Structure 1
Amino acid sequence: MPRNVETAVAARNSRSRQPAKGPESPRKEPRQGRSKHMVDVILEAAARVFDQHGYEGATTNRVAERAGISVGSVYQYFPNKNALLTALHERHHLQMQAVVDRALAAAHGGTLREVIEGVVTAALAVHRAEPRLQRILHVEYPFFERPADVSQSARRLFERTRAVLEAHREQVGRDDLDLATHMVLRMVEALVHSAVLDPPVAAEGALEAAITEAVEGYLLLRR
């Protein structure tokens, strides 16, 4: 095959393997308890399938089989696997919101450092449970995540984190809490992802301590 033709074929094949860039909405939003339960079952199965098979190997048929339902039931809520991936991004935001809530409850009356330690430890546990899925969500296909300004779960996570900083206002050395909240979320996200997806050689608990110190150091620095 001539080189120019071979190159064109390779480029075409490469494009055909690429998913459409951009978040996709579910076919319909669940409103009743039974429907919400079904969506939870589908997303839990999808998380396992993406974690086990990667993006290329994940199919709606495999998701249906893992969930123990018909593929038609999957299509009732999600038109394709890209819509599932978008929903898994939302699910991840909700998981992180729950992490912040649990850490705040566990460290009630405690110091800012204790809250940060709780968030970091729990966030690492969430990401370590499904490392391949986390790579798909945050490294390979991050463009399926809805922008923070249109994602309700991302907004709630921002508001909850800001409330934590407000509750420890006397310890926080940053005047602009909106900016501080943005920075904390991005720092935790980046450092936790790096720790899970490209883990350094470190003693037990050293990563948690290092991430905690980095976030705490930023918040305590007075300017």
Structure 2
Amino acid sequence: MSAIELSTTLLTASAPIRNEPVQARSTARLAALLDSAAAVIDEIGYERLTTAMVADRAGASIGTVYRYFPDRIAVLQSLSARNSERLLARLADALAADGHATATDALLAVLDVTVDLFRSEPGYRSLRVGDVLDLLPPSADETANGVVARAVADALARRYALSLGDSDRLAISTALEIIDALVARAFARHGDGDPILLDEARRVVRATVAGVL
């Protein structure tokens, strides 16, 4: 199992689903509820989401929602885990692709994947991988962004035969946080992402990992 596959497993396993689906029909129902939650979040943001809204959008009873999720926070956490899974799957493909002349170029593919998810994945630009949720106490020792950064660093080290020390990994983690923050800012008032801020994100990421990759 690769580092990215392991990270996907860890993040997905943390999703607080009340009843894990064991049949295809239940899996489809759960996916439909999360799709509905994502659609509502895409319209009004995650802060105003309610379980009643999820039920109404899915055409399901409120009891069906509570069969899988104890409350709205669980819906948000589960959707965050699915977002993380989809991000990591896309990153695995992007980092393994030919055409990256350097490890830095491969790292910048993370920016491209993130931008595409902001544009195409309903609700992603609001919730992302869930670190925006201010839940106390923390449910894990590592943030979702931290898990992604570790997986990316491991993938880069393996692909480009890099020996990464703690400071190198910190630089990569910082670059991932910069991508998350500046891409979110680029989409805050611009439906397709402010190109000036996206270019700035690319420049700052290069500067952050200069001498590391």
* TM-score for both structures, normalised by structure 1: 0.67
Contact 2:19 2:67 in 1 (8 A): yes
Q: Deviations over 1:119-140 (max 9, x none)?
A: 2122012123468763466899
Give the greater-gyration-radius structure (CA).
1
Contact 1:162 1:178 in 2 (8 A): yes
- Kindly state the Cα deviation for residue 49 of structure 1 after the two structures are TM-superposed: 1.1
Residue 213 (structure 1) aligns with = 203
Contact 2:33 2:54 in 1 (8 A): yes
Residue 75 (structure 1) aligns with = 66
Residue identity in the other structure for 2:153: R
Contact 1:173 1:221 in 2 (8 A): no
Q: 2:179 aligns with which of 188, 195, 203?
A: 188
Determine whether 1:168 maps to 2:145.
no
CA distance in 2, matches of 1:27, 1:203: 39
- Give 5+ residue unaligned stretches, structure 1: 1-22
Between Structure 1 and Structure 2, the one with more helix by share is: 1
Question: Structure 1 pair 214/92, CA: closer, same or farther in 2 (3 Å)?
Answer: same
| RMSD of aligned alpha carbons | 3.9
Question: Structure 1 pair 155/221, CA: closer, same or farther in 2 (3 Å)?
Answer: closer
CA distance in 2, matches of 1:138, 1:75: 22
Residue 142 (structure 1) aligns with = 133
Residue 104 (structure 1) aligns with = 95
Alignment of 1:118-157 (within 5 A): 118-129=109-120, 134-135=125-126, 142-144=133-135, 147=139, 149=141, 157=148
Determine whether 1:90 maps to 2:94.
no
- Kindly state the Cα deviation for residue 91 of structure 1 after the two structures are TM-superposed: 2.3
- Kindly state the Cα deviation for residue 174 of structure 1 after the two structures are TM-superposed: 6.7
Q: Deviations over 1:22-77 (max 9, x none)?
A: x9933233355443332222111101112223456533233123223333221110
CA distance in 1, matches of 2:15, 2:95: 33
Determine whether 1:30 maps to 2:11.
no
Q: Deviations over 1:171-200 (max 9, x none)?
A: x9976343233222212111211212255x
Residue identity in the other structure for 1:149: D
Secondary structure of 2:66's counterpart equals helix
Alignment of 1:61-72 (within 5 A): 61-72=52-63
Contact 1:117 1:209 in 2 (8 A): no
Question: Structure 1 pair 77/108, CA: closer, same or farther in 2 (3 Å)?
Answer: farther
Contact 1:131 1:196 in 2 (8 A): no
Question: Structure 1 pair 143/77, CA: closer, same or farther in 2 (3 Å)?
Answer: same
Residue 8 (structure 1) aligns with = none
- Kindly state the Cα deviation for residue 156 of structure 1 after the two structures are TM-superposed: 5.0
CA distance in 2, matches of 1:131, 1:37: 18
Sequence identity percentage: 28
